[in-house]
Structure 1
Amino acid sequence: MTSSALTRPGERDRLSVKLTQIDWRFVGLLTVVTSIGAGMLFSVAKGSWDPWAAKHLIRFGVMLAVMLLLSLVHLKWWFRAAYPIYGVALLMLVGVELFGYTAMGATRWLDIGITRIQPSEIMKIGLVLALARWYHGASAQDAKFSWKLIFPIGMIAAPFLLVAHQPDLGSAMLIGLTGAAIMFMAGLSWKIIVAAGSAAVAAAVPFVLFVMHDYQRNRVLTFLNPEGDPSGNGYHIIQSKIALGSGGLLGKGYGLGSQSQLEFLPEKHTDFIFAAVSEEFGFVGSFTVLACYVAIIVIALRISSLSHSHFGRLGAAGMTATFALYVLINGAMVMGLAPVVGVPMPLLSYGGTVMATVMIGFGLVMATRVHRYAELPKGHGLI
């Protein structure tokens, strides 16, 4: 029997016992991926800690402390906060529509004086919590096929449409796909899945032609034929493919990547940092990074399966799905298998917003492990 099985319920509330329940292998993997990211940011900055690598490590140190603190928070508090967090995030998205801050042609932020907030990032966490709470109080039949599914569908559709209108196609995709993943994991009927998939395929062409903004439509058309505009819209994908392919098996060597070092690779510190990894460390380096991501996802899903509460299981699995979608979409984008939608590689790319979202989400994952025996009340009420 494990030590956790031998401790009495009251003893599990002690801080020392909670700390032993944290999966330190998981923490180690997060640290490894972030360290690789810092190393690459140092490289693409031509051997300098500024302006990216040092800040990347500092942010991770702060967010790691936040993650560990959140892991000690009992699941009942996550449960109680689920609907309020979702509601506040939704109101903030409406606020962006009314008086949001505009930059680079998009209105995605709220300017509160001392800083700017991007509500779509808060929504990525709030949506997972709210859906996990709703399904916690739903019956198996309601989750499979019922008119009551209009509630989770509405929870997903409202932020999806608001974020897509900003426009922020990358975040809208993450919100929609994360919501769909949670509905699937909750037991959604295959009939609905097939019908929804068929409808999405049928609506794809009209959506691209008549709903997307011009720059978004150009990205899709460029993805289909990047060589049609090699010095314009197709430049990002073409340079990324050159970096990926030129690395070969073992890469050109640390700090010796021509595409990134000679400024051919755009957004080398954010969206396309994985291409820089491939160029300098080749297939072996790329595979190592992806193996770390797979290990993180597998451990997190294993943690979610151990929870005694449906809220804990779906909440941890939903946060893991968000992380996995970041990796999947960015990887496909860098390889030319998906349009460029501005989704970074989590923990590897430079950027504090995505790191905060991911680490707070993993705080819930670890809280699910620490408090896996917690029993939570049923029902959909706000309290």
Structure 2
Amino acid sequence: MASQFGKVSLRNRVAPWFAGFDGPLAFAVFMLACAGLLTMYSSGYDHGTRFEDHGRNMLIAATIMFVVAQVPPQRLMALAVPLYVVGVTLLIAVALFGITKKGAQRWINIGITLQPSEILKIAMPLMLAWWFQKREGQLRPLDFVVAGVLLAVPVGLIMKQPDLGTSLLVLAAGIAVIFFAGMSWKLVIPPVVIGLVGVALLVVLEPKLCADGMRWVVLHDYQQQRICTLLDPSRDPLGKGFHIIQGMIAIGSGGVFGMGFMQGTQTHLEFIPERTTDFIFAAYSEEFGLLGNLFLIGAFIFLVLRGLTIALEAPTLFSRLLAGAVTMIFFTYAFVNMGMVSGILPVVGVPLPFISYGGTAMVTLGLALGILMSISNSKRLVQS
């Protein structure tokens, strides 16, 4: 009897720790994690301990998610300004005396080697959500201008490193907060129209703009080369265009049903560069085909819709803005990675969530999921 009472008591003590877990969100992440482990086992079988390390990174991310899910949004809000200030300060330190690897100055040694730009993926939406929460009910155009400046400073510092992929993710998270805070469509439409016109001009003028010796003032050389390669990968099929060409071949060779688990020829004959990291979607597509891609895209859509639902039901403006921005981080990760592997976007260093190998990105994703879980739990507590 006492033993039985003890078991019930233990369950009652443990249950509150799991009460904050959002079931549908956890299910979507579980399905994506299973797909990631399967793909990593196949594509990384000859990469030493990639599969084991990927599983370890997932466990670390799950632990972070579990811990952050217990933190109320009010406490997360208190971290917004300090985390943003620390992140920007470290970015300035990187610009002054950072460590350079492969032509990019992105790291700093403060006892450990750190990439401060990763901090801003979470610190940026936290800061902007805090800013708009403080001005709830009295928003003026000037408040959006200040928010734009808060966003532009870290994005500019990250682009200068240069790190186009991370700057794009930070920019997307910041713009999501500003848009969800109530930015007028009149301010959104003009940049979109200008961007579409710019893309059209790039396509039309590609032979002249990408001619040898042509230098674009606003972009680094490697960024210019990536755009030109996207427009015409065949201009350098064994060099800069190799990634895109092999990725498209792998996706196409998968057909409807795929070549089967561990049967991908492009993958296992090592034609796909970075097949366990940025281009793992090509390896997945080759082995699981169109049906596998539809499953993966469906899982990401479900995750994004669930995140937006949590945002809509959040009890405070801060929680709504933060949940919306964090959700858009997942969307941006998935959209940009699949787009670049498929040849519709330039190649940038953006991993596919839960599928690509990478400890830092996995930790960021675990933190983002924990924030969503925390906000979902706060909604339940308010309703009860």
- Tell me, yes or no, whether TM beats 0.5: yes
Question: Secondary structure, in 3 states, of the residue corresponding to 2:282?
Answer: helix
Could you list the runs of 5+ residues in structure 1 that have no partner in the other structure?
1-13, 376-383
Normalising by structure 2, we get a TM-score of 0.88
**1:381 match:** none
Q: Which amino acid aligns with 2:128?
A: L
In 1: Cα distance, 2:197 partner to 2:93 partner: 33
How far the C-alpha of 1:203 sits from its partner, in A, is 7.3
Residues 309, 372 of structure 1: 8 Å contact kept:
no
Per-residue CA deviations over 1:223-242 (Å, capped at 9, x if unaligned) read: 00001111111100000000
Q: Does 1:153 align with 2:151?
A: no
Per-residue CA deviations over 1:217-264 (Å, capped at 9, x if unaligned) read: 000000000011111111000000000000001111111111110010
2:178 to 178, 183, 191: 183
In 2: Cα distance, 1:147 partner to 1:303 partner: 29
Q: Which amino acid aligns with 2:178?
A: M
Equivalent runs, 1:110-189 vs 2, <5 Å: 110-113=108-111, 115-139=112-136, 142=139, 146-189=141-184
How far the C-alpha of 1:303 sits from its partner, in A, is 1.3
**2:298 match:** 291
1:239 to 221, 246, 255: 246
How far the C-alpha of 1:374 sits from its partner, in A, is 7.3
Over 3 Å counting, the alpha-carbon distance change for 1:89 and 1:335 in structure 2 is: same
In 2: Cα distance, 1:230 partner to 1:273 partner: 20
Q: Does 1:90 align with 2:85?
A: no
Query: Which sits farther off after the overlay, 69-78 or 192-201?
Result: 192-201
The number of aligned residues is 357
In 1: Cα distance, 2:195 partner to 2:82 partner: 31
Question: Secondary structure, in 3 states, of the residue corresponding to 1:243?
Answer: helix
Residues 73, 367 of structure 1: 8 Å contact kept:
yes
Per-residue CA deviations over 1:306-364 (Å, capped at 9, x if unaligned) read: 11100011111111111110001001101100000111101100001111111101111
How far the C-alpha of 1:298 sits from its partner, in A, is 1.2
Q: Which amino acid aligns with 2:184?
A: S
Q: Which amino acid aligns with 1:150?
A: V
Could you list the runs of 5+ residues in structure 2 that have no partner in the other structure?
1-12, 203-208, 210-214
How far the C-alpha of 1:139 sits from its partner, in A, is 4.0
Q: Root-mean-square deviation (CA), in Å?
A: 2.0
Q: Does 1:253 align with 2:260?
A: yes
Residues 144, 183 of structure 2: 8 Å contact kept:
no
In 1: Cα distance, 2:137 partner to 2:331 partner: 26
**1:63 match:** 61
Residues 21, 370 of structure 1: 8 Å contact kept:
yes
Q: Which amino acid aligns with 2:187?
A: I
Per-residue CA deviations over 1:174-198 (Å, capped at 9, x if unaligned) read: 1112211221111101111123334
In 1: Cα distance, 2:137 partner to 2:50 partner: 48
How far the C-alpha of 1:112 sits from its partner, in A, is 2.4
Normalising by structure 1, we get a TM-score of 0.88
**2:100 match:** 102
1:344 to 345, 351, 355: 351
How far the C-alpha of 1:267 sits from its partner, in A, is 0.4
Q: Which amino acid aligns with 2:353?
A: P
Question: Secondary structure, in 3 states, of the residue corresponding to 1:344?
Answer: coil
Question: Secondary structure, in 3 states, of the residue corresponding to 2:344?
Answer: coil
